[in-house]
Amino acid sequence: RLHVGARSTVYRGRRLADDAPVIMKVANANHGTRGEAHAMLRRELEILAAIQSDRVIRGYDVSTFGPEAMLVTEDIGGESLDRHLARGRMSIAGALGVAAGIVAGLRDVHAAGIIHKDITPGNIVFNADTGEIRLIDFDIATAWRTTHQGFVSPRAEFTPPVIYSRE
């Protein structure tokens, strides 16, 4: 067990079909009905599928784990950035590399028309051995509404100025 949160519990395991390492995000029993939990995880899988990025965790499937719904994603063998940082500081070069990876991931997320809404060190996976970064936990993410003129923020006062540009 890697993490226990209000809405889900996260485990590391292996996929039976090919023995590939995977992460299993199991919706907690107190998070609505089994159907509601399955729908929430299916939506998260659809969001992950819409994002083409090496900096965003790849979603594989939504299944069941006993009576509970489960999202299966890739496992890069890392840990959350908050856990990594709790053990000590990073070098400046290391921190800049991580920051660049996060920014690249967010660029790809936004290019897909998605707003993550919960970017924290706990929702960034970092593999210190390989330098890989992945943004995770898209369960509260939303899509931007689009019009023929481009993206429209749900809250215009927070829309970056470049979105209003006609260039």
Residues with catalytic function: 118
Alpha carbon distance 39, 21 (integer Å): 24
